[in-house]
Homo-oligomer: A and B are copies of this chain.
Amino acid sequence: MSNTSTVHLRPSGRKLDELRAVNVQRNFTRYAEGSVLFCMGETQVLCTASVLEKVPPFLKGKGQGWVTAEYGMLPRATHTRSDREAAKGKQSGRTQEIQRLIGRSLRAVIDMELLGERTIQVDCDVLQADGGTRCASITGAWIAVADAVEGLLSQGVIAQNPIKDSVAAISVGMVNGHPTLDLDYPEDSGCDADMNVVMTGAGRYVEVQGTAEGHAFDRHELNALLSLAEQGIQSLKEKQKAARQG
């Protein structure tokens, strides 16, 4: 594939298996228990983790916690302004799909009993969007949650770390017939099929969401995309680790 990637040009000049530059700013805002500005190229997502000393009704008195997420996009995060969801009075299906995905992905690596009867409420707000916002939200949110949990541990609120593993996400897709890593907006809107893959630090799948409106993909292509994603997520895992230590 490295062969291919030297001849096939991406709009950004990246190689087919090349991630965008990742930039992580922890403590971006000061009030949230975890606050991370996570950037992949021009995509910028502010991920905050808030610790709330309550759980949803269905968990009351069960001795376990909850992790949930909400997602939003500032109206002018995008090339053309989109309507403000608060003004329209409802969240779109896309927004709900994404925030449910973020919540599930984080819950997959957190032990709810060790967390205790409290909620970590994650907010992912896209300040600037250039493709891959749901993946950036997951990868960045994990860092914010880890920061919030570190606070709970250092304050002695909880005794044992409920975070079982890291989790990160990346998009891959068939662009002009080539398996391509980390699609930016021009690639995403023009591709035949794309897939969002969420994996744990241990390399297990939490979510695999492949979709093809234009060109249904075969098993061979699926495998190529899965391999490319795995490689990208290994790299993101290192960057999460580095950011947390930085």
Q: Which residues of A contact B (CB under 8 A)?
A: 29-32, 35, 42, 44, 46, 48, 50, 52, 70, 72, 74-79, 81, 84-87, 89-91, 93-97, 99-100, 104, 107-108, 121, 123, 125, 127-128, 195, 199-200, 202-214, 216-219, 222, 226, 230
Residue of B at shortest CB range from A103? Answer: B213
12 examples of A-B residue contacts, CB within 8 angstroms: A29-B44, A50-B75, A75-B123, A93-B93, A93-B96, A96-B96, A96-B97, A204-B216, A205-B218, A207-B209, A207-B212, A209-B210
Are A127 and B29 closer than 8 Å at their CB atoms? yes
Known: A42-B30, A97-B100. A208 touches B210 (CB 8 A): yes
**Copies of this protein, total:** 6
How many angstroms between the C-alpha atoms of A31 and B44 in the bound complex?
12
Report the minimum CB–CB distance from A155 to chain B (whole Å).
17
B108 with A31: CB separation less than 8 A: no
Q: What is the CB-to-nearest-CB distance from A142 to chain B, in angstroms, rounded to a whole number?
A: 14
Q: A91-B86, A104-B213, A210-B207 are in contact. Are A52 and B76 (CB under 8 A)?
A: no
